[in-house]
Amino acid sequence: MSWVIAAFAVTGVVLVAYAVRLRMRIAELRSADRQRS
Amino acid sequence: MVSALVTLTVVAAIAWLVWVSLDVASRADTARSVGIAALVVLPIWLVMVIYYAPIEQVQGVVQKIFYVHTPAILPTYLGFILTAVGGIGFLRTRREGWDQLAIAGCEVGVVFCSLMLLVGPIWAKPVWGQWWVWDLRLTSTLILWFIYVAYLMLRGLAFGSDTAKTFSAIYGIAGTAAIPFVYFAVDLAQGSTMHPSNPAREGLPPEMGRTAGVGLIAFLLVFAWLVARRLQLAALEAKAQAARGGDVA
């Protein structure tokens, strides 16, 4: 069972980490864009 | 029924992503509804994996890793196909949106390919007794991953250069030649590979097939949402780059 939990956990962590990284970078660039304009 | 829904999701995802890439600034916000759809389907898939899909008799509960490993395959291939589609579009029109689609498809494709390469060994260790074997399917998948990581490194090193965009487009188109090789690796190995054959041909029991199908739809929705967000990021990066260029000038 621990192998299954590990597989699902790895998938969840990778996808969530990537999504969070995208959102943070988008927020950062949007904020810089607003400051420019 | 489920396989028809999977096909429909694939076609709709590609069409929608191409549509978004042609005007990212005003269309990227439609990603919100795709994200919500993913958040609805993902829990359904998890419940099906836990309660609906039967426990396989030979491998036992470890076989359930199949439901998280195989759905990553289609987004991987689709991401790399989008890289080629974006490359062809860019070479024909020189429009920035196509180039951004190529980068977004590649990066998200690499994320899903990495997942396949990470989750596969977690299944292999208890079933095969070892994390990795250098058979044709595993090795060709690793080579595929390297091909597209090299693409991303190339883009990272030469941001904004028109020559880099043209070269990347050609590289991205040529890279898709590796996809059929990976897909048919088990057949090409003619029995000398340890990796199971493609699930589509295995004739899974209905409960397993439906669970895998819903997993595919869930992963495709996550994939489409991530590509749309990555497109949005690429458009913002290009805008920031243009502003910096303007400041310098």
pLDDT digits (tens, 9 = 90+) for B133-187: 898 889 999 999 999 999 999 888 776 678 888 999 999 999 899 898 888 877 7
Phi, psi of B59 (to 5 degrees): -85, -20
Q: Is A6 on the interface with B (CB under 8 A)?
A: yes
- Rounded CA gap, B48 and B67, in Å? 10
pLDDT in tens, chain B (249 residues): 778 888 888 888 888 888 888 887 778 788 888 899 999 999 999 999 999 988 888 888 899 999 999 899 999 999 999 999 999 999 999 888 899 999 999 999 999 999 999 999 999 999 888 999 898 889 999 999 999 999 999 888 776 678 888 999 999 999 899 898 888 877 776 767 777 776 655 677 888 889 999 999 999 999 999 999 999 998 898 888 888 775 433
DSSP annotation of B67: H
B84 CA to chain A: closest CA distance, Å? 22
A-B Cβ pairs (cutoff 8 Å, strict): 61
- Closest among B50, B88, B91, B93 to B68, alpha carbons compared: B50
Residue B133: how many other CB atoms lie within 10 Å = 14
Residue B198 tokens read as 């493609």
B contacts of A18 (beta carbons < 8 Å): 111, 226
Beta bridge partners of B56: B60
Put simply, whether the predicted model's pTM sits higher than 0.80 gets the answer yes
> CA torsion, points B171, B178, B7, B234, in degrees to nearest 10?
-30
Interatomic CA distance for residues B13 and B3, integer angstroms: 15
Best to test chain B binding among A4, A5, A21 (most B CBs inside 10 Å): A4
**Does the beta-carbon distance from B115 to A15 stay under 8 Å?**
yes
* Other CB atoms within 10 Å distance of the CB of residue B212: 23
Tell if the CB–CB gap between A7 and B122 is shorter than 8 Å: yes
Q: Is A27 on the interface with B (CB under 8 A)?
A: no
B115–A22 C-beta distance less than 8 A:
no
Which amino acid makes up residue B62?
V
> Are residues B233 and A11, on separate chains, in Cβ contact within 8 Å?
no
B129: helix, strand or coil: coil
**Tokens for B43?**
């829990």
Look-up of token digits 């998948």 = B141
